[in-house]
Amino acid sequence: MRIEDADYVIIGGGAAGSVVANRLSGDPSIRVVLLEAGPAADGFWNKMPSGGLTRMNKPEADWCHKTEPDPSLNGRDMVWNAGRILGGGSAINGMVYIRGDRSDYDQWANELGCTGWSWSDVFPYFLKSEKFQGTPSQTHGTHGPLGVSAPRMQHPLAETFIDACEEYGLRRVEDYCAGDVDGAFKMLATQDNGQRASTARAFLDDAMKRSNLQVVTGALVDRVTIENGRATGVKFEHEGTVHTLGARREVIVSGGSLQSPVILMRSGIGPADQLREHGIDVVVDAAEVGKNLQEHISFASAFEVNVPTWNNLFKPLKLASEFLKYLFLRKGLMTMIPVEAMAYIRSKPDLGFPDVKLSLGLMMFDPAKGGPHEEPGMVIFQNVAKPESRGEIRLRSANPSDGPLIDHRLIGDPQDMAAMVRGVKKVQEIFAQPALGKHVVRQVLPEPMPQSDAEWADAIRNRSGIGFHPVGTCRMGGDEASVVDPRLRVRGVEGLRVVDASIMPIMPAANTNAPSIMVGEKGADLILEDAAAFA
């Protein structure tokens, strides 16, 4: 394969990078090269919604990053999954489509100096991406490439859960995509006619037919080359050969919150002492590169119920039937999403905005057997919506094959732990409401059942996992200490931007796939605007 210099070189073909590649290459006079470390996302298993989920924890499609021991989790380490495939996380995730609350983005703009990133600024970019397959609405787009629809497999208990939330005193939110998540609602999914709508499928399938876009898979990026304070290209390994690819206009780093900071560090942009420790020449002493890491803690409460749930379909004959249903009708279990409803709750009544996010799944797992439980059940995954806990990404070495060092305190802030303890009790109260209470047989997880706040806190430390939503490690801001400015330009280097979830200064109270796609859309517009201004 011959890889030629380009106007723009994009590092990473994930949720944001795929969008940027599509939008920039829409101008036939612009040559774009997209470098992706993983494989292509074509084939039947990548299109089938549940097929992508099966690729999680598989090194051929998942970075499978291992963290350092986390003192806030009683010293446990864990795997942080990240898509290593075209489409990135959108190719292996749970397909939940949620934008967040308008207050998330207004906070970015009004409190954190991120001019141009308020809800009114970013809302058009959510619409721009979207190909909504539902009742026409002013809050949904229909002309974009990203399929968004109600899941074709919906369990009646999702509606029952919302009824119980109403009985508990929460609002029923009719349109959570309007920037209002304060209450309970059923989910939309990134699916297109029953198939997974990853950003690879939505943004690259057609764009890759353009002669001015070259997508290179299996390309492991070492660093950005920088000369006289300007990014000039990218050094990467492909099929056993090291290449240096020139970028005539800009290099765009879209490696995600775990990879983008270490790419910058290997390029000489980061904390000076850390760079020197690994023998890297300092181009810009940027202390915040890799800092500000945020991730959702995820703690499961599970309940056995007296009506069939998706657990009942995990029998050989039923699975075969469901597979055939998908094959011929694009319906059934193979199209299910792991979260069918959400609720945002206040763990204390005086809070202005909900501090705990609840995600409802209609399949209960048995930790002992590592698969679906024999009994029908429901599970609630509980997060702190906007966690205070922070961590950081550091270099493990200067070798790109070694991956990042992830040093996080998933629940290191006492406010987060207090909210989680209060939240698990409210989950029990919701499941005791009349709508759900008549179906609940018993609470299955956690086991044994904690009897005090201290026991709840210990259970949370011992059993919690991640929410698969890392953000913040190349923080955007209006201050000089921020890694990128509000136009996503890396401070101190010309011709270099970061466009992915790592630029989010504070996590939105949401899953991060849709916000990352929005960042890709807005980032591409900023790049094209700046190019036109200097033409």
Report the CATH number that the domain containing residue 285 is assigned in CATH. Answer: 3.50.50.60
Catalytic residues: 469
pLDDT at 352: 95
Q: Pick from 463, 489, 506: which residue ends a domain?
A: 463
Give, in degrees to the nearest 5, the angle at Cα 173 between 141 and 126: 25
Give the Cα separation of 261 and 82 in Å (integer): 15
Q: Which residue has the higher pLDDT, 53 or 374?
A: 374
Q: Pick from 463, 483, 501: which residue ends a domain?
A: 463
Residues 453 and 329 in one domain: yes
Beta strand extents in 151-253 (DSSP E only): 184-186, 188-189, 191-192, 195-196, 213-217, 219-227, 230-238, 241-253
Residues 56 and 205 in one domain: yes
Local structure of 455: helix, strand or coil: helix
**Section 513-530 average pLDDT:** 98
Residue 89, pLDDT > 70, answer yes
**Section 481-507 average pLDDT:** 98
**Section 25-36 average pLDDT:** 98
Percent over 90 (pLDDT), the chain = 93
Confidence label for 365 from pLDDT (cuts 50, 70 and 90) = confident
pLDDT at 277: 97
Return the amino acid letter for 202: A
Which residues, 6+ apart, have CB-to-CB distance to 111 below 8 Å? none
| Runs of H (alpha helix) within 185-259 | 199
Domain count, the chain: 2
Report the CATH number that the domain containing residue 363 is assigned in CATH. Answer: 3.30.410.40
Residues 126 and 240 in one domain: yes
Q: At what angle do helices 102-111 and 119-129 cross, to 10 degrees?
A: 130
Give the Cα separation of 486 and 481 in Å (integer): 13
Residue 139, pLDDT > 70, answer yes
Residues 301 and 285 in one domain: no
Which residues, 6+ apart, have CB-to-CB distance to 427 below 8 Å? 301, 358, 380, 382
Residue 286, pLDDT > 70, answer yes
Q: φ, ψ for residue 121 (rounded to 5)?
A: -75, -40
Give the Cα separation of 438 and 442 in Å (integer): 11
Residues 102 and 163 in one domain: no
Q: pLDDT per residue over 261-272, tens digit each?
A: 999 999 999 999
Residues 313 and 222 in one domain: no
Residues 31 and 170 in one domain: no
Residues 3 and 90 in one domain: yes
pLDDT at 39: 95
Q: Which of 96, 51, 48, 59 is nearest to 81 (CA)?
A: 59
Residue 433, pLDDT > 70, answer yes
pLDDT at 117: 98
Q: Which of 257, 290, 298, 260 is nearest to 274 (CA)?
A: 290
Residues 69 and 103 in one domain: yes
Q: Pick from 401, 429, 463: which residue ends a domain?
A: 463
Q: pLDDT per residue over 383-405, tens digit each?
A: 999 999 999 999 999 999 999 99
Tell me the Ramachandran region of residue 472: left when phi exceeds 0, alpha when psi lies from -120 to 50, beta otherwise: left
Show the domain range for 374.
152-186+297-386+412-463
**Section 338-357 average pLDDT:** 97
Q: Which of 40, 150, 57, 39 is nearest to 370 (CA)?
A: 57
Residues 30 and 157 in one domain: no
Element (H, E) at 169: none
**Section 108-118 average pLDDT:** 98
**Section 236-249 average pLDDT:** 96
Query: What average pLDDT is seen over the chain?
Result: 96
Strands 241-253 and 496-498: parallel
Residues 477 and 535 in one domain: yes
Residues 179 and 104 in one domain: no
Radius of gyration of the chain (CA): 22
Contact 181, 98 (CB under 8 A): yes
Tell me the whole-structure pTM to 2 decimals.
0.97
Confidence label for 535 from pLDDT (cuts 50, 70 and 90) = low
Confidence label for 45 from pLDDT (cuts 50, 70 and 90) = confident
Give the Cα separation of 3 and 9 in Å (integer): 11
**439-to-161, 376, 506 alpha-carbon distances in Å:** 11, 11, 38
| Runs of H (alpha helix) within 180-250 | 199
